[in-house]
Structure 1
Amino acid sequence: MSSSQFINKVPQTVTAPIPVKVTGVGSGNTRFLMVDNPETITQAHFSSGNLQVFAHDQTPGTGGWVKYRVFIWALNQTGVPLRMGITVGNGNTNGETYQIQNFKCDALNTSGDYLTNVGLPLAKALIAGTLDMDTTPVEATVPPMSVRLVHETTVTNGKLKGLVCEFEIFNPSGENMVYKVRVVASTSSKANLRNTQAAPIALSGPHPRGCWPWSEQVTPDITYTLGNGSANFSFANGDEVNGDDIYLASNSYDPTKRH
Structure 2
Amino acid sequence: MDRVVEIIRVENVKKIYRMGDNEVKALDGVSLVVEEGEFLIVMGPSGSGKTTLLHLMGCLDKPTEGEIYIAATAVSKLNDSQLAKIRNKMIGFVFQQFNLLPRLTALENVELPMIYAGVPKAVRRKKAKELLELVGLGDRLHHRPTQLSGGQMQRVAIARALANDPMVLLADEPTGNLDSKSGEEILKIFSELNERGQTIVIVTHDPEVAKHGDRIVRMRDGKIVSEEVNVHA
TM-score range, shorter chain: under 0.3
Q: Please give the TM-score of this superposition, normalised by the length of structure 2.
A: 0.26
Higher share of residues assigned strand: 1
Higher alpha-carbon Rg: 1
Q: Please give the TM-score of this superposition, normalised by the length of structure 1.
A: 0.25
Larger RCO: 1 or 2 (CA < 8 Å, sep 6+):
1
